Copies of this chain bind each other. A is one copy, B any other.
Amino acid sequence: MKKPPPLPSLERLCGIYGLLDSLPESDRGRVSSRELGRAIGQTAETVRKDIAHMKADIVSAGGYDPAELKGAIASYLGLRETRRACIVGLGRLGQAILRYPGFQDAGIEICAGFDRDTNKLELLISPIPLLPSHRIAEYVRAEKISLGIIAVPPDQAQITADRLAEGGIRGIVNFTVPVSVPETVSIRHVSVLDELRILAALTDGTA
Contact = CB atoms under 8 A, between A and B. Distances in A.
Interface of A: 1-2, 4, 10-11, 13-15, 17-19, 22, 38-41, 77-79, 83, 85, 91-93, 95-97, 99-100, 102-103, 106-108, 146-147, 149, 154, 170-173, 177-178, 180, 186-207
Given A40-B178, A186-B203, A193 B96 contact: no
| A11, A13, A77, A78: most-surrounded residue (chain B CB, <10 A) | A78
Contact of A92 (B99, B188, B192): B99
A193 B39 contact: no
A177 B21 CA distance: 10
B187 A190 contact: no
Given A78-B206, A92-B96, A194-B18, A199 B173 contact: yes
A18 B197 contact: yes
A190 B200 contact: no
Given A92-B96, A147-B203, 14 more contacts: A1-B201, A1-B206, A2-B206, A4-B207, A10-B198, A10-B201, A10-B202, A14-B197, A85-B196, A93-B100, A146-B200, A172-B199, A173-B195, A173-B199
A22 B196 contact: no
10 contacts: A11-B198, A14-B198, A18-B193, A19-B177, A91-B96, A108-B193, A108-B200, A173-B192, A186-B202, A190-B192
Contacts of A194: 11, 14-15, 18
Contacts of A195: 173, 188, 190
Contacts of A106: 193
| A99, A188, A191: most-surrounded residue (chain B CB, <10 A) | A188
B177 A199 contact: no
Contact of A171 (B39, B189, B203): B203
B177 A22 contact: yes
A78 B190 contact: no
A50 to B, nearest CB: 13
